[in-house]
Structure 1
Amino acid sequence: MTLLQVSDLQISFESGFGKVDAVRGVSFSMEMGDAIAVVGASGSGKTVLGRSLLGLVDTPGVVRGSILFNGSQIVGRNEKQLKKVRGLGIGMVFQDALDGLNPVYTIGSQLSEIFMVRLAMHRTQARAEAIRLMELVGIRNAEERFDDYPHQFSGGMRQRICIAMAIGMKPKILIADEPTTALDVTVQAGILNLIKELQAETGMGLIFVTHDLAVARLISKRLIVMYAGQIVEEGDTEEVFQRPQHPYTQALLKAHPARARSWRQLEPIPDAFVTDPSSGGGMPHSVPQVTLSQ
């Protein structure tokens, strides 16, 4: 069963310098339980792609094309209609945990509110569910820490709480937008393992947005490589890593530190992949897509 179908998605922003095309004709699909990593350099369009799946592209952004979730169209829906999708259908974890937490409310009250407002739970029942979720994501002494504020938690713990908030409604898809970028390596590993365990337990689909190739390889079964707002390569993660077909993917892997024994072996990505001189304005170079057989 196809859970998510994205077709010819185009996202542009009007600016003082004219129209900027952030996403250009992106198409892909996912099934229940899929684990997809979306990789690419900064500015490739991967974050705005993830936000568009929840209708979170704000003005002056313009979204065109089709995003079908469970057969229902996301593009063009108003906030009231999108409320039925957000949380219950698709959950999201943002890069900075503080973006998803209100600093003036306790962690427990923020978690409980989700269940009271969205699922009409009684306060006592909502509190119990919030504590259960805190324990599930590895918050020690959850009942004692229920009334603590966000600033009383470490960055890694705050990110775990954001994951608890995202999975609390039991979404069919979890979008994680570089949730470990600001964390140290040890904490990062714990968060990644947590996400993998939660996906295995719940069967939810996962779209993991990252610029870190090693993280993408660890977390996903399928890989989408984006460049200049387009998907240039898509396929089984290990297949892409072992036999990359597109020149940009090949250049991206050669530039990854994990593949080099010394800095002298690192190969910078050629300018040809950064801008197209013939465009006259430094516009992104258009490149064909490569799809590997599953």
Structure 2
Amino acid sequence: MSLLQVSDLRITFESGFGTVDAVRGVSFSMEMGDAIAVVGASGSGKTVMGRSLLGLVDAPGIVRGSIMFNGTEIVGRSEKAMQDIRGLGIGMVFQDALDGLNPVYTIGSQLSEIFAVRMRMSTKAARAEAIRIMEQVGIHNAKDRFDNYPHQFSGGMRQRICIAMAIGMKPKILIADEPTTALDVTVQAGILRLIKSLQAETGMGLIFVTHDLAVARMISKRIIVMYAGQIVEEGLTEEIFQRPRHPYTRALLMAHPGRVKSWRDLEPIPEAFVTDSSSGGGGSASAPQVVISQ
């Protein structure tokens, strides 16, 4: 049995314009130690798909299909039941570090609370573990910075703290939802190296959601390409880059600055790939039907 098995996942949202199909029949699996990058343009469904793995799709969203984590079905589980999976089983790092940190509590109190409440450590042991995990993710002088507030850290440091909170309970899978998008290039590289090293140390599975193909190539062993809520291509990272088979994948690669010598050589993604057309079925957008596995 796979560590994670997603089968025919469908996520819809009811709106005043009809039903919006955000994810359409997505299926994939992963094992411990896998590193998967989920790539696609904004609106392709990659973020909402990632959130569904933790039961974080709120109303009016409706999730159908199956998400089996370590033999346990996630779809349809109650909020209380999901508490046993979040953190201990699957951790998540969000795009904006401020979304995951409470501005009125110190960093140390937020980290140590995780260990005190979820792992039932004593106050002293929780503090020690919080300091250790801060040091592990590269927070210098962790003891001195334990009582600092989020606004006293840089954006890169706040993102490192969010990573510390996500890996503190040693999850089997870490979902990183574009965690470096708001950071400058130098800080971004440091965060990516940190995530790769932590994965190597812990053996956890990694699902890295991104629209940056260069980041996907650096961080992953496999790539899932999403367009209009569907997986249109899936395969080993280098195979995808060297021999893309789906037209949308080829269009994504040709639109990336790293693939050309001059900006004049960049090719925009064709209109057919960036504009959804109405299917006449209550506002749902049409999607490509070709699904290629390597």
- Calculate the TM-score normalised by the size of structure 2: 0.97
Q: Is the 8 A contact 1:273 1:285 kept in 2?
A: no
3-state secondary structure, aligned to 1:25: strand
Aligned-pair CA distance for 1:286: 2.6
Aligned residue for 2:22, secondary structure, equals: strand
Q: Secondary structure at the match of 1:33?
A: coil
Maintained 8 Å contact 2:11/2:23: yes
1:275 touches 1:283 (CA, 8 Å); kept in 2? no
- Does the Cα contact within 8 Å between 1:91 and 1:174 map onto a contact in 2? yes
Aligned to 2:70: 70
Correspondence for 1:192: 192
Contact residue 4 and residue 30 of structure 1 kept, 8 A:
yes
In structure 1, distance between residues paired with 2:213 and 2:278: 30
1:175 corresponding residue in structure 2 = 175
Aligned pairs (5 A) from 1:214-293: 214-275=214-275, 277=277, 279=279, 283-292=285-294
The C-alpha deviation readout for 1:6-33, integer Å capped at 9, x for no partner, is: 0000000011111100000000000010
**CA apart distance, 1:260:** 1.3
Q: Which residue of 2 aligns with 1:145?
A: 145
Counterpart check, 1:201 vs 2:194: no
Task: Give, in whole Å, the separation in 1 of the partners of 2:236 and 2:7.
Answer: 20
Deviations 1:184-231 (A, max 9, x none): 000000000000000000000000000000000000000000000000
Q: How far apart in 2 are the matches of 1:128 and 1:277?
A: 55
Say which SS state the counterpart of residue 191 (structure 1) adopts.
helix
1:26 counterpart residue number:
26
2:7 partner SS: strand
Q: Does the CA contact (< 8 Å) of 2:19 and 2:284 recur in 1?
A: no
For 1:108, the aligned partner's letter is: G
Shift of 1:169: 0.4
* Separation (CA, whole Å) in 2 of partners of 1:75 and 1:38: 20
Please give the per-residue CA displacement for 1:53-76, whole angstroms capped at 9, x wherever unaligned: 000000000000000000100000
Unaligned runs of 5+ in 1: none
- SS of the residue aligned with 2:165? helix
Query: 1:106-148 deviations in whole A, cap 9, x for unaligned?
Result: 0000000001100110000000000000000000000000000
After TM superposition, the structure 1 stretch with the greater mean CA deviation from structure 2, 131-140 or 278-287, is: 278-287
Which one-letter code corresponds to 1:286 in the other structure? P
Q: Once the two structures are superposed, what CA deviation does each residue of 1:46-95 show, in whole Å capped at 9, x if it has no partner?
A: 00000000000000000000000001000000111000000000000000
Residue 210 in structure 1 maps to residue 210 in structure 2: yes
* 1:196 and 1:219 in contact (8 A); partners too: yes
Structure 1 distance, partners of 2:76, 2:7, is 14
Identity among equivalent positions (%) equals 81
Mean Cα deviation higher: 277-286 or 114-123: 277-286
Deviation at 1:279, TM superposition (A): 3.2
The whole-number CA distance in structure 2 between the counterparts of 1:2 and 1:9 is 16
Conserved 8 A contact 2:20-2:284: no
Q: Match of 2:180, SS?
A: coil
Which runs of 4 or more aligned residues in structure 1 lie more than 3 Å from their structure 2 counterparts after TM superposition?
275-282
Identify the residue that residue 155 of structure 1 maps to in structure 2: 155
Structure 1 residues 277 and 54, CA gap change in structure 2 (3 angstroms)? closer
Q: Is the 8 A contact 1:276 1:282 kept in 2?
A: no
Aligned with 2:217: secondary structure? helix
TM-score of the aligned structures, taking structure 1 as reference length? 0.97
Quick one: which amino acid aligns to residue 58 of structure 1?
D
Partner Cα separation in structure 2 for residue 278 and residue 73 of structure 1: 33
CA distance in 2, matches of 1:276, 1:20: 12
